[in-house]
């Protein structure tokens, strides 16, 4: 049964990925994601339904627009296929429960925010701010249906603590931390806190660890310098997902090795 659900999640991810392409292209410019409909980015001709099938249409058209034969960025099928794989992986990992919608929502938001931040060095309010009530509602539903209301207290504490931590970092070093990162931190802190104290601490630490390693690699490759502004949102998201998946195991391992688990 789980295999079938994972397959459905992948198909759903393809459709969501197609929508995320619109979000990634329009939201940074302040344009509506609803109107007008999809159109060729080169000549403005409306795209027909047969040319708007995720991944398949790009393959059939050989990466070129039907109307003007201009090239279509490979980013479009990659976002669609990547979102499908992401949704399938999350579903296979978490299983079917009321928590799944909350995780799939975070997966979709992660794809959009990571790519927008990489390209524009921004985490748009149009995505981040609505995620607070949406994520809260989905996580509250998951906790209540699992009869674990205690998760909500921990979720709230971690969201506030993470926000305060990032806000303090922004005040200390405004060039190294943007307010978009601060606003995103509250959402990620809430998700991590829902899972536990260990995931919350581990996920927060891994964001800086991954970001530090990536920064070193970029400098070694001469793609960045000491003063280069590097978007931190993608590393926050990677750290959060690593914390969700591995945080509990890592924290338990550390406590056992340090002897603190016996206290």
pLDDT confidence bin for 153, thresholds 50/70/90 = very high
Domain residue ranges of the chain, discontinuous segments joined by +: 1-96, 97-263
CA torsion sign for 181, 182, 183, 188 is positive
Confidence category of residue 255, pLDDT binned at 50, 70, 90: low
Cα end-to-end span (Å), the chain: 42
Predicted confidence at residue 258, as pLDDT, reads 64
Instruction: Determine phi and psi for 19, rounding to 5 degrees.
Output: -70, -40
Weakest-pLDDT range from 70-74, 182-186, 254-258: 254-258
More confident residue, 156 or 251: 156
Q: Which of 134-143, 221-230, 253-262 has the lowest mean pLDDT?
A: 253-262
Which of 134, 172, 166 has the alpha carbon at shortest distance from 232? 166
Give the other-Cβ count within 10 Å of 60's Cβ: 12
Distance, CA of 228 to CA of 129 (rounded, Å): 27
The tens digit of pLDDT for each residue in 21-47 reads 999 999 999 999 988 878 777 777 788
| 262 pLDDT more than 50 | no
- Above 50 in pLDDT, residue 263? no
Among candidate residues 129, 182, 184, 191, the one with its CA nearest the CA of residue 154 = 191
**CA distances to 25, 63, 123, 138 from 68, in Å:** 20, 12, 33, 43
Q: Which residue has the higher pLDDT, 106 or 3?
A: 106
- From 50-64, 172-186, 220-234, the region with the lowest mean pLDDT: 220-234
Residue 224 has pLDDT above 80, yes or no: no
Q: Considering all CA atoms of the chain, what is the largest pairwise distance in Å, rounded to the nearest integer?
A: 69
> What backbone torsions phi and psi does residue 130 show, to the nearest 5 degrees?
-65, -20
**DSSP per position, 98-164:** TTHHHHHHHHHHHHHHHHHHHHHS---HHHHHHHHHHHHHHHHHHHHHTT-THHHHHHHHHHHHHHH
Asked if residues 187 and 139 have their Cβ atoms less than 8 Å apart, the reply is no
d(CA 142, CA 101): 9
Which spans in the chain are helix H? 2-26, 56-60, 75-94, 100-120, 125-145, 150-172, 179-195, 197-220, 233-258
Check residue 173 and give its pLDDT.
85
Question: Looking at residue 259, what is its pLDDT?
Answer: 56
């Amino acid at each position: 049964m789980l295999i079938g659900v994972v397959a459905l999640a992948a198909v759903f991810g393809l459709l969501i990925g197609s929508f995320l392409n619109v979000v990634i292209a329009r939201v940074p410019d302040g344009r509506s994601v609803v109107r007008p409909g999809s159109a060729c980015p080169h000549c403005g001709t409306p795209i027909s339904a047969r040319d708007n099938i995720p991944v398949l249409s790009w393959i059939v058209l050989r990466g070129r627009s039907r109307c003007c034969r201009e090239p279509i960025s490979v980013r479009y099928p990659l976002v669609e296929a990547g979102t499908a794989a992401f949704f399938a992986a999350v579903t296979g990992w978490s299983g079917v429960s009321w928590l799944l919608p909350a995780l799939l929502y975070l997966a979709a938001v992660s794809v959009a925010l990571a790519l927008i931040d990489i390209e524009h060095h921004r985490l748009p309010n149009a995505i981040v701010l609505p995620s607070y009530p949406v994520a809260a509602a989905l996580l509250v539903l998951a906790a209540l249906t699992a009869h674990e209301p205690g998760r909500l207290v921990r979720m709230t504490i971690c969201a506030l603590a993470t926000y305060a931590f990032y806000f303090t970092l922004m005040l200390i070093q405004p060039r190294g931390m943007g307010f978009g990162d601060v606003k995103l931190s509250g959402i990620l802190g809430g998700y991590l806190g829902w899972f536990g104290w260990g995931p919350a601490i581990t996920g927060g630490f891994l964001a800086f660890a991954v970001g530090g390693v990536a920064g070193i690699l970029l400098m070694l490759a001469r793609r960045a310098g000491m003063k280069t502004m590097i978007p931190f949102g993608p590393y926050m998201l990677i750290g959060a997902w690593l914390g969700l998946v591995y945080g509990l195991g890592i924290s338990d391992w550390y406590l056992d090795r340090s002897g603190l688990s016996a206290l």
